[in-house]
Amino acid sequence: MYKKHFNIPVFIPELACPFQCIYCDQSKISGVEKLPDDQEIVNKIESHLLTIPRGSEVQLAYFGGNFTGISLEQQEHFLKLITPYISEGRISGIRLSTRPDYINDEVLSLLKRHHVRSIELGAQSFDDEVLRKSRRGHTAEVTAAASQRIREYGFSLGLQMMIGLPGDKLEKALNTAHRIVELGADDTRIYPTLVIKGTVLETMFMKKVFTPLKLEEAISWCAEIIPVFEAAGTNILKVGLHPSEGLLSGDDLVAGPFHPSFRELVETRIWRALLEPLTQRSAKSVEISVPPGQINYAVGYGGTNKKMLETKYLNVKFKTSDQLSKRLFSIRLSE
């Protein structure tokens, strides 16, 4: 039977991070924050468990970008905190996110012993020029090697990517998506690069040596990237705001393709391309049947796809059909 899946998120900040990724405001993320104490974590788990329906699959998610960058002792401590919940069957496993260059056999053995099921790496790009210009401090080869090792140990693998970093192009972003698929990632997240106050990227933006993607560009890039993952069966966990950016206030955003409904805009774009040929047909009315989960995207954000069709048809009706899945749709034209 299908079980509903829930993550209980616990943020582990990257204390004294030795890196200088140009898009990151370290003082915000690592300077002010501190590691959560045990009671805080336990309280969080207990309050989440109260709201999660019985019989659901629950994972504890240590996110924050670099779990394996903290000491082995601290990692073990945080992992052991979850063991009682796993023994009682209240939590099924742990997922965490980290940097590709903080993966080695010692770390992987530790994570394996302590019920970690999924490891997500911040790959960001598989183009070395983009990585270098973004001062990520590792190459694409390092991400590939870490990914292979994670899979050899039997973990589920997640690879996150960013689009619109310095030196990035649509072809490079598409290549990154294809590499993520080739490396066997089970899931992915796509983050458009934003210019955040206090970052190197902000200085570059002010000096006009970096221009972020326009919202329109970020939408059309994602509309091309998403089908690559869908064709391969890679689960797309997120398209939009980076988790660390979620911690920032609205005033921290300087520039970039931010939109609170970013994913909906991308899905609208993908549906637009599918529905556009209908504007070449001729009839008075059109009824479009779409899969149940897709109707809002098919109609489009703000009804834009429907409005597009209304320029051609007098009556445009969308309805759902349980017979359809993915983005398959059927049409009925009438006079």
202 interacts with ligand SF4 by CB under 6 A? no
Task: Identify which of residues 99 and 149 has a Cβ nearer to ligand SF4 in the complex.
Answer: 99
161 interacts with ligand SF4 by CB under 6 A? no
The binding track of 79-108 with respect to ligand SF4, each residue x by CB under 6 A or -, is --------------------x---------
30 interacts with ligand SF4 by CB under 6 A? yes
Query: CA Rg, the chain, in Å?
Result: 22
Neighbours of 147 (CB within 10 A): 24
Task: Identify which of residues 166 and 291 has a Cβ nearer to ligand SF4 in the complex.
Answer: 166
Least CB distance to ligand SF4 at residue 28 (A): 9
Among residues 29, 45, 82, 218, the one that binds ligand SF4 under rule CB under 6 A: 29
24 interacts with ligand SF4 by CB under 6 A? yes
19 interacts with ligand SF4 by CB under 6 A? yes
Tokens of 47: 């309050």
Least CB distance to ligand SF4 at residue 11 (A): 12
Among residues 6, 9, 17, 253, the one that binds ligand SF4 under rule CB under 6 A: 17
Least CB distance to ligand SF4 at residue 57 (A): 29
> Residue 137: which region, alpha, beta or left (left: phi > 0; alpha: psi -120 to 50)?
left
The binding track of 229-268 with respect to ligand SF4, each residue x by CB under 6 A or -, is ----------------------------------------
Least CB distance to ligand SF4 at residue 151 (A): 23
Task: Identify which of residues 23 and 85 has a Cβ nearer to ligand SF4 in the complex.
Answer: 23
Task: Identify which of residues 166 and 300 has a Cβ nearer to ligand SF4 in the complex.
Answer: 166
The binding track of 63-82 with respect to ligand SF4, each residue x by CB under 6 A or -, is --xx----------------
* CA–CA–CA angle 114, 120, 124 (5° rounding): 155
Choose the binding region for ligand SF4 from 1-9, 12-20, 251-259, 311-319 (rule: CB under 6 A). Answer: 12-20
The binding track of 39-68 with respect to ligand SF4, each residue x by CB under 6 A or -, is --------------------------xx--
* Residues within the interface to ligand SF4 (CB under 6 A): 14, 17, 19-21, 24, 26, 29-30, 65-66, 99
